[in-house]
Amino acid sequence: MAPSQREEWVPVSANKLLLTSMISVILCVVSAVRAEAQDAQPKSTDESWAATTQTSLNNTNPSRRTESHTKSGNRTVDKQREEALGPDGRYKPVYDTEKETIRVDAATTRTVVHGYRWDADGRRTLVQVTEEEARSSASGDNHVVRTTSNSDANGNFQVAQREVADTRNTSPDTQETKTTVYMADGTGSLTPYLKTQELQKRGTDHTVEVKKTTLSPDGNGNWQVGEVRENTIKEEGQNRTSEERVSRPDSEGRLSEISRTVDKETEPAAGEKSNTVESYSPDIPGVAGDGSLRPNQRVTTVQKKGSDTSEQQVEQPRPGDPSSGLRVTAKTKYTVHYAASGTQQTAITQERDTNGTFNVVSAGTRTKSDQVPPAQEPKATVPKPQ
């Protein structure tokens, strides 16, 4: 595979820029970058790529992820292996995922995902299988059935969950999706566990409104609203704003807003991109709540066009004194180095101490290469689902 084109490593927000959350940020970012890179590539009937990404962070065990993608005709296979560095200095496989997607016809797609776990002796065992069938109609309606089976202690597979989703266009600008999730009840039967109703409406002013209602059964088998999420997305030129409100029933069953998130993407100057995520909550550490929403965090990320560096800062209120406003509590600097063999991405995070001084609390390096290490074959035959 030829070296990939230059990629922009744009960090995403996290509630806390601690070591563990930093790992999640890096993984999410690289996945997003890969998706953008694939979209940018010319579409073809057959295609394939492979890549290896190594992550090393202070005070954590280095890890490695190997990915491959192969498309031939109507069949696509995606493989992913997670590895951790062993005590002997060699990488040991931990978990494998193999996904096969087949386009049966113009209206039907079948997908099967196998999940394998590796033990300490280097044996690979199939532990989970997810099967999905998606059908579409000429009117644009979709019907999806997704079934997940897990293995028991004897290696036999039992259905653990089934999800059925139906999407239909109720008008030229409105789409409705109803989903029911069934869970195994221990008797060999599947019982409805959760229902969601999502309504998406597109406006003429580049606005999309999404309302998702989640219902769960009470002790009497009646369906009750457990959560309502309302999201409004608006685009104006190069700027984009997304506002999400989450409401849940209180002790008396009345819906009450428990959180609000406002995400703004702007270009304040030529070639500069800024992303600000503000979150609000009624629960502020050290303050007795009165039910009203207060700002509890602001995450701002700035990246200049053509720059290999982006900076992110987290602002939070002083503990016990939300009226004092938000102050910077953490800063992270992301840098990307490009080479013919791949990219190296580093992130250095600083946090404010009680004296107001910023100290480095984590530093990580992630290297991505198109060179895939030799595959390690399993030592034992993988059991098949019953």
How confident is the model at residue 324, as a pLDDT?
78
Contact 116, 126 (CB under 8 A): yes
- Walk me through the domains of the chain, giving residue ranges and CATH numbers: 19-369 (2.40.160)
Per-residue pLDDT, averaged over 141-154, amounts to 95
pTM of the complete model: 0.76
DSSP assignment letter at 379:
S
H or E stretch at 40: helix 19-40
H or E stretch at 26: helix 19-40
Nearest C-alpha neighbor of 345 from the set 23, 15, 19: 23
Rounded Cα distance between 235 and 94, Å, is 42
What tokens does 381 get? 């035959």
pLDDT digits (tens, 9 = 90+) for 351-377: 999 899 999 888 888 887 766 555 554
Nearest C-alpha neighbor of 385 from the set 118, 146, 159, 93: 159
Whether 91 shows a pLDDT value over 50: the answer reads: yes
pLDDT digits (tens, 9 = 90+) for 251-269: 888 999 999 999 999 987 7
Helix (H, G, I), strand (E, B) or coil at 322: strand
Nearest C-alpha neighbor of 330 from the set 307, 305, 359: 359
Half-sphere exposure of 220 (CA within 13 A, CB side): 2
How confident is the model at residue 45, as a pLDDT?
60
Contact 330, 352 (CB under 8 A): yes
How many other CB atoms are found less than 10 A from the CB of residue 357? Answer: 9
